[in-house]
């Protein structure tokens, strides 16, 4: 393998510069993006040069695959790349080979079948039940209609697992407030409707808002069926709903408050349901996921959970 940087020359270098020129002039990529493409592709060309390739037409699919392996392992005398950085490099390599075919330099796309490395699955960010309770309590602090609205909004999101866009789009007629079978009708991705039960705490908070706060907020607007309103009587925006959550998280003193988003409550909803014994397919329906595969990421467990279960279940653990 190479010992240090190899400076590509000849046909490969010319083809590389032609592609970078295309990205700059015709695609209008930023200087930073171009620099990243150049860095990845010069590493690729250096790797090809070591393999003895001097013309674009000599590059085979196996060469591209070997480059991917070398990037991940650092066997080309460069630093090993993470999966995300390697994925970025593969995008650059695939784009270059596609350009070579379209420009008539080669007749076959050597990278067409090569895919970026799979990204490692990460557990969705969720907060504990205790932190959710602190968050909800903090949202309702203060006097006037706004605290009642904020508490009701976050209670509904956590009780139903709604996306924030679904929550702010909720209409009054979408809420069934019948005790014992209260629910909300949510309009999800692809205009797919689903009906989700509404817990008693969320129903109580929503009732308080609808009776004692929404009429005051609606008085400043032109009339809208949307449940959650801003102080001008217009529908609450997603950005404003985000601000409601961020303010409550800071007020509650939650760790990592700056990283808590409306989606955090959705993740927490699913995680807490599964921890309580809910079937993953039921959670799939509640979340509105088209595939159970998307929901199954919530079934991944942390090392702490593994230790707790092991300690409780194994006869000789303690």
Please list the active-site residues. Answer: 163, 189, 263, 266, 289, 298
For residues 80, 86, 90 and 92, what is the CA-based torsion angle, rounded to 10 degrees? -90
A 10 A CB-CB count for 122 gives 8
Give, for 287, the enclosing helix (H) or strand (E): helix 280-287
Distance CA 314, CA 135 (A): 36
A 10 A CB-CB count for 201 gives 14
Alpha helices in 26-82 (DSSP H): 31-51, 61-73
The SS3 assignment for 203 reads: helix
Give, for 157, the enclosing helix (H) or strand (E): helix 145-160
Identify the burial level of 119 via C-beta atoms within 10 angstroms of its C-beta, where 0-12 means exposed, 13-18 middle and 19 or more buried: exposed
Distance CA 37, CA 235 (A): 43
Distances (CA, A) of 274 to 189, 281, 282: 23, 10, 10
The SS3 assignment for 117 reads: coil
């Amino acid at each position: 393998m190479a010992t240090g940087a190899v400076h590509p020359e000849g046909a490969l270098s010319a083809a590389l510069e032609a592609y970078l020129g295309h990205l700059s002039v015709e695609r209008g990529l930023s200087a930073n993006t171009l620099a990243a493409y150049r860095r990845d592709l010069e590493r690729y060309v250096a790797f090809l040069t070591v393999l003895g390739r001097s013309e674009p037409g000599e590059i085979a699919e196996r060469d591209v695959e070997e480059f991917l392996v070398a990037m991940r392992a650092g066997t080309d005398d460069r630093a090993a790349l993470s999966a995300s950085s390697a994925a970025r490099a593969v995008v650059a390599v695939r784009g270059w080979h596609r350009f070579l075919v379209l420009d008539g330099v080669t007749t076959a796309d050597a990278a067409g079948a090569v895919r970026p490395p799979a990204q490692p699955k990460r557990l969705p960010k969720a907060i504990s039940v205790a932190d959710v309770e602190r968050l909800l309590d903090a949202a309702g602090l203060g006097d006037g209609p706004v605290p009642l609205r904020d508490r009701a909004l976050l209670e509904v999101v956590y009780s139903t697992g709604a996306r924030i866009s679904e929550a702010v789009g909720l209409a009054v007629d979408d809420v069934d407030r019948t005790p014992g079978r209260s629910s909300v009708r949510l309009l999800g991705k692809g205009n797919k409707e689903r009906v989700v039960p509404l817990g008693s705490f969320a129903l109580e908070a929503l009732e308080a808002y609808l009776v004692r706060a929404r009429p005051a907020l609606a008085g400043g607007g032109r009339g809208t069926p949307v449940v959650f309103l801003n102080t001008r009587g217009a529908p609450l925006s997603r950005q404003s709903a985000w601000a409601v959550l961020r303010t409550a998280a800071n007020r509650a003193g939650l760790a990592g408050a700056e990283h808590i988003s409306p989606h955090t409550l959705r993740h927490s909803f699913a995680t807490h349901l599964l921890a309580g014994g809910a079937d993953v397919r039921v959670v799939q329906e509640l979340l509105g996921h088209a595939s159970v595969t998307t929901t199954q990421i919530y079934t991944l467990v942390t090392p702490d959970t593994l230790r707790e279960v092991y300690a409780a279940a194994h006869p000789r653990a303690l």
